[in-house]
Amino acid sequence: MDIIEQRVGVPPHIAGPAATFAFFAFFLIKKMGLFTNTNHFPVEGKTILITGASEGMGLAAAILLAKKGASLILVSRNVGRLEEALVKVTAAARSPSKQRFTYISADVSEPNYAESVIAQAIAWNAGAAPDIVWCIAGLSSPMLWADPANDSIAATRRNMDVNFFGSAEMSRAILKEWLAPENKPKDTGVIGQKPEPKHIVFTASMLALFAIVGYGPYTPSKWALRGLADTLNMELRMYPDHPVKIHVVYPGTITSPGLERENKTKPQITLELEKEEPAESPETVAERALKGLEKGQYNVTVSTLGDLMRCGILGGSERNNWVWDTVVGWVVPVIYFFVIRIMNAQVAGWARVNGHPHVKKAAA
């Protein structure tokens, strides 16, 4: 070391700490995944079940996974749209002779729907359960919570049935299969190498990281998914011989038929607050989500803003990277100090200009 220091002209008292700093900097960068190409979410040759697969993000994800060599089971209510989706997904297959595709019509809001879907999936898949389940089915019913013209409680129950219970029931049904003692994965035959894990992917929303006015019926269902995911992430450590990974994806506004439907009831103040947020295509969101899954991320965001919001609300949740997430988590509250005040002022200012929401509707 002394010879090298003399040749480059670096004093010993500087070279030592500098080398140490460089080592730890390299270590942190490597831990952040910048120098590794390991795919933690391989899909080629796997069978994947996707709910909400007939349109929007669900269909985009299915097509992307087909291009990567996966076999797909598409789940949604509308048979007509499922048949159209099946044609598109089949056409995207990477290896048509090896991949298989089918659909199952089901309403994810119906109690006990998931066990029947999983049973049909297993029967189609030669007696084997899907390797990956991605719950994307969802809806949003924006409205002002306290407006007497709205039945916000009924809307909340509907959102919970689709967004939370639809995913919760599916996760329980597939875990009962995966964790059954008789379904223990086969030993890889390689010392120290564990079997590839199964994956459950929940789809939440950026609104599960930062709530805004107008989404009272919707946001709680997505926050509930975060709580379920965190709980399962800990519980599944009780089954080391049946490895299962949990993930939560947090998309923002997506240009889809679902957005068109929710905009019909969305309050004007909500539209005002959202006007600066660019809507992303389903294909863009699906691609970014898959990249996060391939990196092995637990909480998967699809934008820089979403990642900042994720770090600002982690609490006891799993970290994607403990150092990075912690440092950013220290910074985000400072940003929120200004953001929350600005948004609250926007809401108050809107009310001053437009008047009491109830009075305005009554006058109309």
Orientation angle between helical segments 322-354 and 304-311, nearest 10 degrees: 100
Q: Which of 222, 245, 266, 295 is catalytic?
A: 222
Residues sharing a CB contact under 8 Å with residue 356, sequence separation 6 or more, in sequence order = none
Closest to 196 measured CA to CA, from 47, 1, 37: 47
User: Is 222 marked active-site?
Assistant: yes
User: Is 361 marked active-site?
Assistant: no
Distance CA 228, CA 226 (A): 5
Show the tokens assigned to 296: 């092995």
What would the DSSP string read from start to end of 87-147? HHHHHT-SSTTT--EEEEE--TTSTTHHHHHHHHHHHHTTT---SEEEE-------B-TT-
Contact 278, 254 (CB under 8 A): no
Q: Which of 103, 218, 250, 298 is catalytic?
A: 218
Residues annotated as catalytic are 218, 222
